[in-house]
Amino acid sequence: MNTYLLDTNVWLRTVQRESPQHSLAVEALATLLTQGDAVCITAQNVIEFWSVATRPTAANGLGWSVEVVRQEIDRLQTQFPILGETTEVFGHWVSLVTASRVIGRRVHDARLAVMLAHGITHLLTFNHDDFRQFPITVVTPGDLLASSKQP
């Protein structure tokens, strides 16, 4: 059994029924839970979700109202714990960006340091390449489903 951080892009696809990746995201999340794996989120996930969900559809968002977004966040919090933002997270982040030589906008991806502070090593994401330089196990929904169907 592993504990996975649910990346915002997977969470978003679970609520975007029109997305070509919707079924894949829903099935991958269900597979983790069926296998007995734990799933968690971070405050950063919630902030990113809020940003995309409240952004107009013309600007590549969901166009949801504040009330609907708040309901979705509350729903997700009842299913998955939010990892705490401890002072230890900052130390992990500084070490991570230094060791991996992260610069520019990619420093935001290094916020996954919260995983390291909590001893979590697996990330479920559609963006494998964004995280390959970090010392974590990056799993895409497609890879997860392919490996769960092997004997």
Amino acid at 61: G
- Long-range interactions of 52-56: CB distance < 8 A, separation 24+: 52/8, 52/12, 53/12, 53/15
143, containing H or E segment: helix 141-148
Domain 3-46+83-148 CATH superfamily: 5'-nuclease (3.40.50.1010)
Q: What is the pLDDT of residue 142?
A: 95
Q: Is 132:138 a contact under the CB 8 Å cutoff? A: yes
Amino acid at 139: V
- pTM comes to 0.91
Q: What is the pLDDT of residue 60?
A: 92
Q: What is the pLDDT of residue 151?
A: 64
Q: What is the pLDDT of residue 51?
A: 96
Q: What is the residue extent of each domain of the chain?
A: 3-46+83-148
Q: Is 5:134 a contact under the CB 8 Å cutoff? A: no
Nearest alpha-carbon partner for 7 in 43, 41, 58 = 41
Cβ count near 38 (within 10 Å): 14
Tens of pLDDT along the chain (151 residues)? Answer: 999 999 999 999 999 999 999 999 999 999 999 999 999 999 999 999 999 999 999 999 999 999 999 999 999 999 999 999 888 999 999 999 999 999 998 888 888 889 989 999 999 999 998 888 888 999 999 999 999 876 6
Q: What is the pLDDT of residue 34?
A: 95
